[in-house]
Structure 1
Amino acid sequence: MLKKTAFLLLAVAIVQVSSEYIEPQFIEDVIQEQSRTSLGPRIVSGWDAKLGQHPHQAHMRMTNAAGGVSTCGGCFVHHDWMITAAHCTATRVSLLIRGGMISLSETPEYMSETNEFWNYPSYDNSIPQIVQPNDISIVKLQEPIVYTRNLKPIRIQPSADANRNFGEITLHASGFGATWTGGSGSQVLQWVYLRGVSNLLCGLTFGTTIVTDTTICAQWFNVTSQSICQGDSGGPLVYTYPEGKIFLVGVTSFTAGANSGGCHSGLPAAFIRPGHFHDWYTEVTGIDFENLDEVEDETTTTPPTTLPPTTVPPTTEPPTSLPPTTPEGDSNEEGSDEDDTSEEDEDLPELLKRLQVKVKVKVKVNQFRKKVRVVKKIH
């Protein structure tokens, strides 16, 4: 609660001081030869992924009409279909898609090239350099995917859950993007925990023109530099529901601009909620993704369910520490009540020793028991 309040005050202060919203920027990665010579270890303060940990993750290399090349991420959702960001595909003439690997230096289990994709109708393809709402695209794979342990689809967020408030909920993102603002991309797939931010708070940062009902925002979990970055666009933001099923709840879209600190600013990053577009998916593909049996049958890999420490990353299995489930104030109040009860338990034998008259003993004991019942009822 204190974190949420502090962030709200910070966002309001930013708006009041500058009278302008934070400038957002897309996070596709324009490939340059020199950028591949110094590779960092993280998405931004994240960890190397294990093979099969994110089997829905795609890597996409896009080529435009002039021969320029850039990279984005993507999310496999079907044998024949992938979801990514519209700004990744707009004005591109060819997409090379790879999957089923965690290192770009390894031979992928899947690779195909396509030029078939559909950007959401309200997205203006003529100005892909401008941050827009509904930044989502669905891509037709030329070769169908053969599912393996390392290559599987992810369920798309149900339409009934599309407007859920993910504020303060733990999510995770993954990608091959840069490990620092303006830095080089990673050769190894990275993942990071993030904390959901309400649309209200996110709108105070970037403005409600681009933060709409179809937007979901998330920021650092326990280290302010934790974020997605250049090259992660189009990749997945994932939530593990209580029953253990994982769902795609966000498609990576943009972060704060470099002038505002970029990927490591500590400000939220924005994603597109895929649950808002099921009718459109069906119109384009003929598939009802909300009732897709193959995803239920094939997707068995679950993401880490525990949370990272505040310093060193895990070397084998994710750590077991969990985030607080109640606000600090509530925890302190409950602790005080429990301490009071414990002290009264310890004082009872001494009290009985001092009391010699049976009537007085009975009165005192009854008073104590009544007080204990009151304390328990409060809990």
Structure 2
Amino acid sequence: MAAGRALVVVLALSWANALPTPSELDFVENVRDVGMPRIVSGWEAEEGQIPYQLSLRMVARNGAVFSCGATIIHSEWGLTAAHCTADRVTIVIRAGGRALSRPQLLFETTDYYNHPEYDESLTRVQPHDIGVIKFNQVLEFNDLVQPIRLQASAHMNKNYDGIRLQTSGWGRTWTNGVGPEVLNWVYLLGTSNERCRAAFGGSTIVVNSTICASNYNVTSQSTCQGDSGGPLVVIDVDGVPSEVGVTSFVSGTGCHTGFPAGFIRPGHYHRWLTEVTGVHFNWDPPSTTPRPPTTPEEHSEEDDDASSSSSSSEEDD
């Protein structure tokens, strides 16, 4: 089916915690690299590689258990997707560790705040799919537990088309596949909102506060069920990682089918985040305005040294 005609249907990426059926275990894609499960065609994380990643297990009012991701953004706060925490009665959080069975921290909370424009009574994908979780303790940061910086409001509408991004999680390794024990990550390429909207047939779900990303170098690379609420990260203009997206949705045809995945831009929500948490998460990106050309009198050997040692890696400008 042509991309322009496909898919106004999208899947939220949280998933009920159930034992895999034999048919799920029979996927060739899941077993082709024995001992190397994938987020979807990604790689296993090293210990401490992604210290801001959190694993969530949420219990709904009917007793069902769901899995999601999240990120540490402060010693007392985590960031996730609103559909992960909506109508949940308790949240179990794992932090600091690549294996779910060996977290550095394991604790529970019941406090979360979803964006007021996200309607928790609806079960369909919608914009403003963002929320924060209040920890019931103050995290002590170390090599395995660290916060990540959020996208600056100055970059909230930045076009990341063609920019290399990274996402991670313990979500399923293929559509209807199994979830791994070890944290996985994968590179994705930013996709303009125009191209993303066209891929979903002009869907109104793709709005200014949406950021989309497609496969990096393998068509199947993507997020999948269980990755919701996790991070989409860029190496920013100052060389520091920033979370530019919160994992929200994929195509209704599946996780591995080559259509863009959708994320929520936290840069749009700084005012609300500060109102809820009392924490100022915004920051001012360095100016990228080029210096005026020097005159011959102003040119010096010092300028030559600075020029030869400067970095040219600002690929996301």
Do the structures match in fold with TM over 0.5?
yes
Partner of 2:105: 110
| CA distance in 2 between partners of 1:229 and 1:33 (Å) | 17
Structure (1 or 2) with the greater helix fraction: 1
Which among 5, 22, 28 is matched to residue 14 of structure 2?
28
* Contact 1:29–1:185 under 8 Å retained in 2: no
Q: Retained in 2: the 8 A contact 1:35–1:185?
A: no
Partner Cα distance (2:195, 2:9) in 1: 15
Q: Encode CA deviations 1:147-190: one digit per residue, 9 max, x unaligned.
A: 01011000010000110000000000000000000111111000
What letter corresponds to residue 224 of structure 1 in structure 2? Answer: T
Deviation of the 1:291 alpha carbon: 5.0
Paired position in structure 1 for 2:226: 231
Q: Match for 1:67: what amino acid? A: G
Superposed CA RMSD: 2.0
2 CA distance for matches of 1:242 and 1:82?
24
Corresponding residue number in structure 2 for 1:92: 88
Question: What is the TM-score of this pair, normalised by structure 2?
Answer: 0.83
Question: Contact 1:35/1:183 (CA < 8 Å) preserved in 2?
Answer: no
Please tell me the residue identity of whatever aligns with 2:231. P
Q: Give the 5 Å matches for 1:149-168.
A: 149-168=143-162
Q: Does 1 or 2 have the higher relative contact order (CA < 8 Å, sep 6+)?
A: 2
Specify every segment of 5 or more residues in structure 1 that has no aligned partner in the other structure, as ranges. 1-9, 293-324, 326-379
For 2:198, what is the secondary structure of its paired residue? helix
Matches within 5 A, 1:1-379: 13-15=2-4, 18=5, 21-34=7-20, 38=25, 41-106=37-102, 108-127=103-122, 129-206=123-200, 207-257=202-252, 260=253, 262-291=254-283
Identity %: 47
Counterparts in 2 of 1:202 and 1:291: CA distance versus 1, 3 Å: closer
User: Does the CA-based 8 Å contact 1:77-1:153 persist in structure 2?
Assistant: yes
Q: C-alpha displacement at 1:70, in angstroms?
A: 0.8
Asked if the contact 2:94/2:100 (under 8 Å) is kept, the reply is no
Q: CA deviation at 1:208?
A: 4.0
Contact 1:47-1:191 at 8 Å conserved across structures: yes
User: One-letter code of the match for 1:26?
Assistant: A
Please state which structure has a larger fraction of its residues in strand.
2
Give CA deviations for 1:60-111 in whole Å, capped at 9, x if unaligned.
00001111001000010000000000000001110001110100121x1122
Distance between the aligned counterparts of 2:212 and 2:283, measured in 1?
26
Q: How many residues align?
A: 275
SS state of the match for residue 130, structure 1? Answer: coil
Q: Distance in 1 between matches of 2:276 and 2:237?
A: 31
Question: Rg: which structure is higher?
Answer: 1
CA distance in 1, matches of 2:108, 2:262: 28
Q: Where does residue 291 of structure 2 map in the other structure?
A: none
- Partner AA of 1:277 in structure 2: Y
In 2, the alpha carbon distance for the partners of 1:270 and 1:54 equals: 21
Q: TM (normalized to structure 1)?
A: 0.70
CA contact (8 A) 2:248 2:264 kept: yes
Is the partner of 2:20 in helix, strand or coil? helix
C-alpha distance in 2, partners of 1:245/1:123?
30
Query: Which consecutive aligned stretches of 4+ in structure 1 deviate over 2 angstroms post-superposition?
Result: 33-40
Cα shift readout 1:31-59 (whole Å, capped 9, x = no counterpart): 11236995761100000001111000000
